[in-house]
């Protein structure tokens, strides 16, 4: 039993340490993140291209938590969103690059995060079906309007009761018992999307991730459950 345990642990360690060589790094793909060094991020209201009109508000409710883990100062999302609403900027699709410097002036934001919900679907609860969320993230500089970083993520969970997908069953149970619906899936999707983002000042690995292997990270951020 002890031996088995060690073998499994060794396997996990190898997976975690990422064993491939000569791959693209974070600094190769997102050089502007390291040269411009944004610190403060304003998250704009999500653009919703899914078939679920409620997705925008629901997705927003999970974003503060997941975004804070990137180590940037994320402006108070609930408050900035109601502020933007009152200024008629809730439909962020209409925000053009020419407005971006104002986010620097009035919000102190070095960059804005544009999020797009491209999929937000679920099968009927209790009956076999899939729950899926797909997102696109773009981080744009408020001074140069350049895209500093972008990422995509799609999480699909097979909740069919005859499925032997362990995680799927776990989440199905969570959904049925806790009325939390999309919270765990939306969180998972944005956490995955953030995998590739160079981390900010408040993160323990700040300035230590330039050499991180992007191919490994991309594989991680697009896994299917």
Q: Which residues bind other proteins (CB under 8 A)?
A: 1, 5, 8, 12, 15-16, 39-40, 54, 57-58, 60-62, 64-65, 68-69, 71, 73-80, 82-83, 86, 105-109, 166-167, 178-183, 187-188, 191-192, 194-195, 202-204, 220
Q: Which of 161, 153, 166, 152 is nearest to 130 (CA)?
A: 161
In whole angstroms, how far apart are CA 99 and each of 40, 89, 220? 17, 11, 35
CB of 109 to other proteins, least distance (A): 8
Is the Cβ of residue 54 or residue 146 nearer to other proteins in the bound state? 54
Show the tokens assigned to 143: 């001074």
Is the Cβ of residue 140 or residue 187 nearer to other proteins in the bound state? 187
Q: What is the DSSP string of 12-25?
A: HHHHHH----S--B
Q: Which of 88, 84, 87 is nearest to 113 (CA)?
A: 84
Is the Cβ of residue 92 or residue 190 nearer to other proteins in the bound state? 190
Q: Is residue 164 classed exposed, middle or buried when 0-12, 13-18 and 19+ CB atoms within 10 A define those classes?
A: exposed
CB of 155 to other proteins, least distance (A): 10
CB of 118 to other proteins, least distance (A): 20
CB of 189 within 8 A of CB of 153?
Answer: yes
CB of 186 to other proteins, least distance (A): 8
CB of 174 to other proteins, least distance (A): 11
Q: What residue has token string 């053009």? A: 96
170: CB partners within 8 A, 6+ apart? none
Is the Cβ of residue 31 or residue 76 nearer to other proteins in the bound state? 76
d(CA 220, CA 205): 18
Is the Cβ of residue 134 or residue 197 nearer to other proteins in the bound state? 197
Is the Cβ of residue 31 or residue 139 nearer to other proteins in the bound state? 139
């Amino acid at each position: 039993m002890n031996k088995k345990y060690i073998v499994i642990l060794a396997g996990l360690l190898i997976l975690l340490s990422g064993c491939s060589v000569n791959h693209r790094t974070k600094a190769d793909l997102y050089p502007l993140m390291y040269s411009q060094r944004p610190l403060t991020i304003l998250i704009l209201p999500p653009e919703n291209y899914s078939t679920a009109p409620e997705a925008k508000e629901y997705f927003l409710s999970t974003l503060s938590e997941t975004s804070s883990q990137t180590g940037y100062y994320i402006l108070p999302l609930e408050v900035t969103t109601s502020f933007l609403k009152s200024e008629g900027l809730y439909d962020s699709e209409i925000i053009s690059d020419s407005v971006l410097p104002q986010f620097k002036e009035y919000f102190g934001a070095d960059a804005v995060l544009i999020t797009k919900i491209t999929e937000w679907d679920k099968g009927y609860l209790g009956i076999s079906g899939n729950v899926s969320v797909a997102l696109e993230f773009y981080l744009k500089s408020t001074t140069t309007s350049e895209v500093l970083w972008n990422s995509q993520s799609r999480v699909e969970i097979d909740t069919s009761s005859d499925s032997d997908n362990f995680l799927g069953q776990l989440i199905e149970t969570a959904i049925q018992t806790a009325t939390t619906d999309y919270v765990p899936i939306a969180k998972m999707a944005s956490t995955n999307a953030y995998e590739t983002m160079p981390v900010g000042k408040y993160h323990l690995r700040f300035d230590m991730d330039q050499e991180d292997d992007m191919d490994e990270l991309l594989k991680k951020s697009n896994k299917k459950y």
